[in-house]
Amino acid sequence: MNRYITRRIKNRIMVSLTYLALVIALIPLISILIETMLRGVPAINLQFITERIPPLGQPGGGIGPAIQGTLIVVGIASLIGVPIGVLSGISLAEYPETKLALAARFLNDVSTNMPSIVIGIFGWTLIVVVTGWSVIAGAFALAIMMIPIVTRTTEEAVKLVPQSTREAAIALGVPRWKTTITVVLSSAKKGIITGILLSIARISGETAPLLLTILGSRFWFSGFTEPTAALPLAIFNFSKSPYSSIDWPRAWGASLILILMILGISVVVRYFTREKYV
Amino acid sequence: MYKRETSLPTEAINILVSEQMSYKIEIEGLNAWFGNNHVLKDVNMKIKERAVTAIIGPSGCGKTTLIRCLNRMHELVAGARVSGKVLLDGENIYGNDIDPVTVRRRIGMVFQKPNPFPMMSIYDNVAAGLKLNGVNDKRRLDAAVEKSLRMAILWDEVKDDINKSGASLSGGQQQRLCIARALAVEPEVLLMDEPCSALDPAATTKIEGLIRTLSQDYTVVIVTHNMQQAARVSDFTAFLYLGELVEYGDTKSIFENPKNELTENYITGKFG
């Protein structure tokens, strides 16, 4: 009886500890969200979303070009990064033992943890030095960040598709490549989409590579080989402004919009790719 | 010395020819390996057309490997190897110029665990083989789906829910769905790898009845670890032990009058 009571006490203590750890982990997350909401919401209105970025310290204006710039740069980066990432993930999962796959997997893991400023410098030396600061250079740098994330998550998702599903298609006389792009991909769809959204969320907030590639701007998009604005850069500039009462609320507003944008993309993508059968 | 007649009467030739023609599959000197593990050892057997041939034997004797060699599924496993010949209508499916994909279109397969495509409706599951091989004609697909589901005795149960997920069916229904899926591409041979091992007795009875019906049109090869099942559904039975074909003949004589002691011990339950 006595032993039973001590066991129960130990159990209670361990359960409480895990809950405590969970609460501690959630505190910074929730406070970031609440803080951004409280400070960001008052800054946001129609003018804030649609108008051009004012010079620091000047009232009026908005962050329109930054929203536009982020959508364009992230959009192009996804157009480059998603197909390459998904295809290489499939190849790693379907042909896992080739020498190329082993090398690619290792390099992929290394580049997942590559500091983003390094990728920025890479994009800068490779493209910016030749063409000047440009949307293309920024999209290129972000695509490089995106590929390893998409590759890794696609590989894991495709590996989870049971062998029996593949065999069912192959036994029907369906060629291997067709089996992969139809039956296997449709079964792995959910995991792959999650990986893509994760990578979009990650690159949408990147600041360092953009500083070195698209530079930032106060004006609307004016061409793929021109500098452009982006939300992380706008947040960065507003928050280092000396005019705290005018520019700091803008930084909060832009932060909130960035969060809502990532959330919005994720909701829209999930809606259009939802499973027919759960 | 006995001198053989050179000219046989035509009747005898006809009998010989028809006997020859009625073998759908001829296995000659078939060996199979997983890495260094020699799992099938010099198997020779001829499989009759439009009949049910059962392969029985204890776990790990190579039953599944044997039928997976018949539609070239064995070689899909990393490190797996095959040697020997498998003649389908007299043509070696392991020939150099034979595409395994075309072999698998002619020889369908039903697996041990029901494996409907999880993201597809019942209709799409059955139509999958045709659709993925380029058939898009809606009327042809509709007809094939209904015909296959009727053959698999599943039509009446699912005709109103044809667009529901295939995974929403019960285990026995899923297995019949997989049979319908295999039949939809109109194969000549149907391989079944312990198709009832994951099913309850009622579903098993249904599928066994189905196998008997199918044998009127198809050559069926079924692997089973259930000897009663082999006795109930098959016309011919092969007993496999440690990768070797021990005895092969018509089911009745294998079960009632086995020639080999091993076979007798196995079917009387002394081991296995």
Tokens of B107: 């020889």
The pLDDT value recorded for residue A39 is 94
A1: confidence class by pLDDT, cuts 50, 70, 90: low
The pLDDT value recorded for residue B190 is 96
Within-domain flag for B95? yes
Contact A167 B76 (CB under 8 A): yes
| Among B105, B118, B119, beta carbon nearest to A173 | B105
Please give the Cα distance from A248 to A246 (Å, whole number).
6
The pLDDT value recorded for residue A32 is 93
What is the phi-psi region of residue A129: left when phi exceeds 0, alpha when psi lies from -120 to 50, beta otherwise? Answer: alpha
Contact B185 A169 (CB under 8 A): no
Average pLDDT over residues A46-52: 93
Low-confidence ranges of chain B (pLDDT < 50): 1-5, 17
Scanning every residue of chain B, which has its alpha carbon at the shortest distance from the alpha carbon of A181? B132
The pLDDT value recorded for residue B1 is 44
B interface test, pick of A172, A186, A187, A275 with most B CB neighbours within 10 Å: A172
Contact B117 A165 (CB under 8 A): yes
The pLDDT value recorded for residue A159 is 95
Contact A183 B182 (CB under 8 A): no
What is the average pLDDT value for chain A, to the nearest integer? 92
Within-domain flag for B245? yes
Average pLDDT over residues A76-95: 95
Contact A173 B129 (CB under 8 A): yes
| CB of A129 closer than 8 Å to CB of A60 | no
Residue type for position B178: C
Length, in residues, of chain A: 278
Scanning every residue of chain A, which has its alpha carbon at the shortest distance from the alpha carbon of B168? A277
Within B90-235, strands assigned E span 91-92, 107-110, 189-193, 219-223
Average pLDDT over residues A39-64: 92
User: Is residue A272 pLDDT above 90, yes or no?
Assistant: no
pTM of the model: 0.81
Contact A277 B119 (CB under 8 A): yes
Give the total number of structural domains in chain B: 1
Domain that holds residue B220: 23-267
| CB of A48 closer than 8 Å to CB of A59 | no
The answer to whether A177 contacts chain B (CB < 8 Å) is no
Residue-wise pLDDT for A187-236, tens only, equals: 999 899 999 999 999 999 999 999 999 989 999 999 999 999 999 999 99
**CATH of residue B147:** 3.40.50.300
Q: Give chain B positions within 8 Å (CB) of A277.
A: 118-119, 121, 164-165, 167-168
The answer to whether A172 contacts chain B (CB < 8 Å) is yes
Within-domain flag for B135? yes
Tokens of B155: 């039509």
Within-domain flag for B229? yes
